[in-house]
């Protein structure tokens, strides 16, 4: 959850830190600062506070009762007695946080299962296609252009052009468009690349179908979601050593 503790505790943090309230009492004393703000600046501060709270609550899916929320703000800022003390307030807040955490974990588990099922189904079907070969590790590849000659080893540094897509066709990287080949040692890249490039000779072009366990696994990477099989078209241009 984005800024989950600030999201829900913001009212209490701001009044406690910025406005110097006494957290041990039900009456927080109102504003105690000695630097007065004019009307427009006061409005700007309130506006900034409200926008921040609204954006973060909306992003987290939290929808407080507006009347009660505004009543609490008014009570604290005006120095009126609050409905309960800060300890009781924190208990209620922690209950909400726990419920939201449980909900998010359940949703994440469902997404994980769906992603793993989709990946498995794709790889099973893809392996049946003519021209697709699967290695013992689960890497699948297709030869687009085959050349004879030197092959890299795990200690080699190679220069390649490539494009990478998700199984739904989403393009997430493309060195051809950048017109910039990429150089790297094979031991520094994902296992699917390390294994696949060692099958290629200079001048060859292959298409790799890389299972997530040979890619970015359960964590994903940037635009690549967790448990994503990846499709790369790779031209091996040079072996540096």
For residue 78, the model assigns a pLDDT of: 87
- Tell me whether residue 111 is in a domain: no
Given 70, 104, 138, the domain boundary residue is 104
pLDDT at position 160, please? 97
Domain end among 89, 104, 119: 104
Domain count, the chain: 2
What is the bridge-based pairing of β-strands 182-185 and 132-134? Answer: unpaired
The reply to whether 122 falls in a domain is: no
Tokens representing residue 22 in the block? 């006494």
List the CATH number of the domain containing 223: 3.10.50.40
Alpha-carbon distance of 97 to 62, in angstroms, equals 10
Predicted TM-score of the model (pTM): 0.68
pLDDT, one tens digit for every residue, the chain (241 residues): 444 444 444 444 444 444 444 444 466 777 888 888 899 998 998 899 899 989 988 887 888 899 999 999 888 888 888 898 889 988 998 898 899 889 989 998 999 999 999 999 999 999 999 999 999 999 999 999 999 999 999 999 999 999 999 999 999 999 999 999 999 999 999 999 999 999 999 999 999 999 999 999 999 999 999 999 999 999 999 998 7
Residues 141 and 183 in one domain: yes
pLDDT of residue 201: 96
Answer yes or no: do 134 and 230 share one domain.
Answer: yes
Residue 195 within any structural domain of the chain? yes
Give me the pLDDT at residue 237, please: 97
Please tell me the distance from the alpha carbon of residue 176 to that of residue 232, in angstroms, as a whole number.
Answer: 12
User: What's the domain range around 19?
Assistant: 4-104
Residues 87 and 163 in one domain: no
Q: Are residues 98 and 182 in the same domain?
A: no
State the pLDDT at residue 126. 97
Using a 10 angstrom Cβ sphere, with 0-12 exposed, 13-18 middle and 19 or more buried, the burial of residue 217 is middle
Is 39 domain-assigned?
Answer: yes
How far, in Å, CA of 209 to CA of 120, rounded? 12
User: What are 136's two structure tokens?
Assistant: 């013992």
Any idea of the CA torsion for 173, 175, 181, 187, to the nearest 10 degrees?
10
* Residue 234 belongs to some domain of the structure: yes
97 with 135, same domain: the answer is no
- 155 and 98: one domain? no
CA distance 229 to 225: 9
Is 84 part of any domain? yes
Q: How far apart are CA 116 and CA 134, in angstroms?
A: 19
Nearby residues of 112 by Cβ (< 8 Å), 6 or more positions away: 218, 226, 227
Predicted confidence at residue 18, as pLDDT, reads 40
Q: Is residue 119 part of a domain?
A: no
C-alpha distance across the termini of the chain, in Å: 47
Q: Do residues 134 and 91 share a domain?
A: no
């Amino acid at each position: 959850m984005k800024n989950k503790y600030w999201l829900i505790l913001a009212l209490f943090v701001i009044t406690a830190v910025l406005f110097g309230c006494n957290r041990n009492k039900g009456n927080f004393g109102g504003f105690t600062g000695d630097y007065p703000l004019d009307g427009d600046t006061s409005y700007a501060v309130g506006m900034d506070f409200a926008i921040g709270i609204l954006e973060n609550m909306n992003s987290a899916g939290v929808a407080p009762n507006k009347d009660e929320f505004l009543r609490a703000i008014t009570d604290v800022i005006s120095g009126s007695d609050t409905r309960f003390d800060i300890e009781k307030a924190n208990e209620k807040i922690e209950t909400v946080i726990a419920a939201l955490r449980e909900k998010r974990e359940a949703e994440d588990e469902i997404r994980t299962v769906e992603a793993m099922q989709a990946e498995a189904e794709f790889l099973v079907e893809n392996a049946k296609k003519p021209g697709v070969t699967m290695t013992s590790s689960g890497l699948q590849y297709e030869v687009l252009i085959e050349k004879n000659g030197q092959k890299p080893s795990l200690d080699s540094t190679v220069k390649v052009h490539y494009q990478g897509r998700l199984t739904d066709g989403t393009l997430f990287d493309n060195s051809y468009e950048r017109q910039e080949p990429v150089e790297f040692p094979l031991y520094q890249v994902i296992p699917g690349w390390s294994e696949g490039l060692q099958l290629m000779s200079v001048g060859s072009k292959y298409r790799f179908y890389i299972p997530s366990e040979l890619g970015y696994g359960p964590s994903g990477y940037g635009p690549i979601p967790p448990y994503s099989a990846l499709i790369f078209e790779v031209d091996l241009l040079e072996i540096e050593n």
